[in-house]
Amino acid sequence: MKKVKQTLLLIAVASMSAFMSCGPDDGGDKTEKEVLTEALVSTTWTADASVTDVSGVNGTFDIGTFTVKFTETADGLAFNLGGDISSYITGGTFSVSEAGDISNILVNSASAELSASVTSFVVNAARTSVSLNINVTEAGARVGGIGQYVLVFSAGS
């Protein structure tokens, strides 16, 4: 009987030490939303001149000046555009689901005479390229810069 008690005590102590050595969950498993958000906000993105297309737009642009910077907001994410493009489109906001899906995209035009909408917003699987297709139309008087922008940005270093 004494051996049985000692064996049970040994099993109980071994079990307790096994459970006590398990630390708290360190949150190592990130959601797709967290991974995507970190990738977007970690750098200033620069235009990829080889695929960025503003040829169908009235206006002259130096694509090499185009940048986009993403920031977290209380409601999701925001983006600010820099360079020549910002005289037409300044930035916008969007939401990211826990699965990493982008939705509720709003674009801010630089002029009350312009109306802008995103027709496509894609981040590649490696999270090294962002493509924004933006349609800009007249909201009032005729204004230069109207057309379809295809803006492709690469992650900075």
Residues of the chain with pLDDT under 50: 141
Query: What Rg do the C-alpha atoms of the chain give, in angstroms?
Result: 25
Q: Which of 153, 144, 103, 150 minimizes the C-alpha distance to 124?
A: 153
Q: What percent of the chain has pLDDT over 70?
A: 75
Q: Please give the pLDDT value at position 82.
A: 93
Tens digit of pLDDT for each residue in 132-141?
998 888 776 4
Kindly state the tokens that stand for 153: 């940005």
- Asked if 95 and 75 touch (Cβ cutoff 8 Å), the reply is yes
Q: Please give the pLDDT value at position 49.
A: 87
Tens digit of pLDDT for each residue in 35-63?
999 999 999 999 998 888 887 666 677 88
Task: Please give the model's pTM, rounded to 2 decimal places.
Answer: 0.74
Residues 6+ apart with CB under 8 A from 143: 111, 113, 114
